[in-house]
Amino acid sequence: MATFAFKDDSVVVIIGSGAGGGTLAHELTRRGIKVVLLEAGSRQSPDSFSQVPGEAFTQLTWLDARTQSGDWGVARDFPTLPVWHCKTVGGTTVHWTASCPRLQPWELRARSTYGAVAGTSLIDWPITPEELDRYYAIAERRMGVTRRNNIPGLPASNNFKVMYAAAKKLGYKQVHTGHLAINSQSFDGRGFCIQQGFCVQGCKMAAKWSTLYTEIPDAEATGNLDLRIESTATRIENDHGPNGRVNAVIYRDNNGHEQRQAARVVCVAGNAIETTRLLLLSESSKFPHGLANSSGQVGRNYCHQITGFVWGIFDKPIYFWRGATIAGVIEDEAINDPRRGFVGGYRMELVALDLPTLPLVGLPYGWGRDFASILENYRNLAGMFINGEDLPRSDNRITLNANVKDAYGLPVAHIHVDEHPNDRALRKHAQGQMSRMYEAIGAKRVVVGPTPPASHNTGAARMSADPRDGVTNGWGRTHDIANLFISDGSVLTTPGSANPTLTIVALALRQAEYIGEQMKAGHV
C-alpha cells in the first residue's frame, strides 16, 4: 500500500469505501491514478466477523447519532436508528445480502412513464438504459452475479421452497433464487456459499462480494492506494476561485487529530446520509448553502425504497435461518401497471432473520402472549421482504440538526420522510399478495412486519439533465464544481424497484472511466 503526502495535490480523494467508493478506488488505481481513500470505520476481515448477531451489529453498523421526523413507520418504530448501514472498510457491502437485479429501461424514465404525479419531484434519468446496461454487464462479471454469464443460481433452500410453492399457487412465473453476488461456485479466488445464513453479519466464507476483500485489496496491489481507516471527513475545502474548484479534504484521523489532504479531485461516497451531511457541512462564502448546492437540491428527493417483512407461520418446520438470507425472488410485480392503484413496481425477496434480531427488527411492535406466540413458532416461519419503488419528494430530505452534535461538535444528519399515498398503496398491495401467497399453501397465520431502518439510501444528490433539478450530471459530477464527484447511491435519479448496489457499482465503473479521461485531458 502507498502513502501519499498531505500536500500532494495530484491525488484523488475518495470518501467512503463501500460499493461506490471501493469500486471507484480500484478502477482509478488500476489506471495508474493515485488515490487516498478515507474510511470512517475500522477494518475487519472474514476472520474477525463476529457471528453473535448483537456483537456483529455493533461491529459493523454506523451508530453515530442521527435524528428523524415524518410520518413513515421508521420514525415510530426505530426512532434512534432511521437508517441501517455500515461504518467499516467495505462499507455496507459487508452486511448487504447481495441481491443484484438491474433497473429496467422504463424505471430510468420514471417521469415519462408515470406522468405527472402530484406531490412528487419525479424526473427521468439523464443516461439511457442502453448506456447503463453496458456497465451492468461489466459489474455482473466483476461481482460474479448468479444467473448471468452462465453462472448457476444458488440451490433452493427450505425457505425458498415455501416461497416458490406459494408463488406458483398464485400464478407467478418469474420466480427463482435470484441474481446474487454470492458465489454458487468458487469464483475470483473466493469460495462458494455454504449456506450459513449469516450474510448480514459478514460472510466468513467471503463467498458474498464485498469491496472489503475484492476491490480494495486489488486497489492496494496496484501500489496506488493510500487507505486511511478510522478517518472521518468533516469538510471539503474549495479554492474560492472563479471556478470554485475543491482542493482539499479536512478529516479527523485515527488519533482524532485534524488533517488536511490536498486533492486534485474529490469523490464523495459516504452513503446518501453522510454524503449529504458532508456537502452541507462544507459551506463557505462561495457556497453559503453547502457545497454543490446552488440548486438547493442537496439532501432533497431522498428515497429509501418501500421495504417490509411478511412472515408465514406453518404447522411444519421450515428452519428458515438455514441458508443464504435473500436467495429467492418473485419478479412478476416489478412492472408499472397503474391498474394496481399505484405507479412503479416491487420485488418480493426471500428473507429470514436470526432469533435475536427477529423480535427487534422483524416483528410489529408488541408484547405479551400474541407477540410471544409468533416466536414460539420460530422453527415454522417462512419469510419474504418487499423491495419496491418509492417516489421522490422535494421535502423528503436530509438536513443538518444544529441541536445534536457528533463527537467533533458537528451537527448530525436529520432525516425527514413523509410517505406519498403511492408508497402506501404499493406496500399494501405487496403485503396483500404475500399474505395471499402464504395462505394459499396453508399458512396458519400471516404476520405483517414493520418497515425496518432504511438501507437503500438514494436520491439525495441525484443526477439530472437540468442543473436545477438535481446535484450531479450523468457522470455523477456535481453541476456546480468540475472536480467534485458523488460516487454512491445518492446519485440515483429514482430508486426503481431494484436493490441499489449493482447500480451503484455500475455507475462507479462508468464514473471511473470518465474521471480517468478527464484527468488525462487535463480538464480536472
Q: Identify which range of 17-25, 298-306, 360-368, 384-392 contacts other proteins by CB under 8 A.
A: 360-368
Task: Tell me if 45 contacts other proteins by CB under 8 A.
Answer: no
| Residue entry with cell 453541476 | 479
d(CA 75, CA 276): 20
Contact between 412 and 67 (Cβ < 8 Å): yes
Task: Tell me if 405 contacts other proteins by CB under 8 A.
Answer: no
Q: Could you say which of 158, 247, 284, 336 contacts other proteins (CB under 8 A)?
A: 158
Phi and psi angles of residue 89, each rounded to the nearest 5 degrees, phi first: -60, 130
Task: Tell me if 375 contacts other proteins by CB under 8 A.
Answer: yes
Task: Tell me if 318 contacts other proteins by CB under 8 A.
Answer: yes
C-alpha dihedral over 272, 391, 446, 97, to 10 degrees?
A: -30
CB of 81 to other proteins, least distance (A): 12
Grouping H, G, I as helix, E, B as strand and the rest as coil, residue 82 is coil
The residue among 177 and 222 lying less far from other proteins, judged by its C-beta, is 177
Contacts to other proteins from residues 268-287, by CB under 8 A: none
Q: Which residues contact 93 (CB under 8 A, 6 or more apart)?
A: 18, 19, 22, 86, 209, 210, 211, 212, 501
Q: Identify which range of 109-117, 295-303, 373-381, 453-461 contacts other proteins by CB under 8 A.
A: 373-381
CB of 175 to other proteins, least distance (A): 6
Task: Tell me if 59 contacts other proteins by CB under 8 A.
Answer: no
Grouping H, G, I as helix, E, B as strand and the rest as coil, residue 124 is coil
Contacts to other proteins from residues 166-185, by CB under 8 A: 175-177, 184-185
CB of 419 to other proteins, least distance (A): 24
List Cα–Cα distances, 213 to 202, 375, 442, in angstroms.
11, 36, 43
Contacts to other proteins from residues 418-447, by CB under 8 A: 441
C-alpha cell at 504: 451503484
Q: Could you say which of 70, 129, 153, 217 contacts other proteins (CB under 8 A)?
A: 153
- Looking only at the bridges linking them, the beta strands covering 12-15 and 265-268 are parallel
Task: Tell me if 41 contacts other proteins by CB under 8 A.
Answer: no
Task: Tell me if 196 contacts other proteins by CB under 8 A.
Answer: yes
The residue among 140 and 390 lying less far from other proteins, judged by its C-beta, is 140
- Residue type (1 letter), 322: R
The residue among 31 and 169 lying less far from other proteins, judged by its C-beta, is 169
Q: Which residues contact 462 (CB under 8 A, 6 or more apart)?
A: 123, 297, 301, 392, 469, 470, 471, 472, 490, 491, 492, 493, 494
Q: How many CB atoms lie within 10 A of CB 190?
A: 19
Residue closest to 142 by CA, chosen among 491, 489, 470, 505? 505
Grouping H, G, I as helix, E, B as strand and the rest as coil, residue 34 is coil
Task: Tell me if 388 contacts other proteins by CB under 8 A.
Answer: no
Task: Tell me if 369 contacts other proteins by CB under 8 A.
Answer: yes
Helix boundaries (H) for 79-211: 105-108, 110-114, 129-143, 158-169
Q: Could you say which of 19, 358, 447, 506 contacts other proteins (CB under 8 A)?
A: 358
Q: Could you say which of 9, 10, 52, 243 contacts other proteins (CB under 8 A)?
A: 52
CB of 98 to other proteins, least distance (A): 14
DSSP 294: T
CB of 494 to other proteins, least distance (A): 30
Task: Tell me if 355 contacts other proteins by CB under 8 A.
Answer: yes
Residues at the interface with other proteins (CB under 8 A) = 51-54, 146, 152-158, 160-162, 164-165, 175-177, 184-186, 192-198, 204-205, 316-319, 321-323, 354-356, 358-360, 367-369, 371-372, 375-376, 378-379, 441
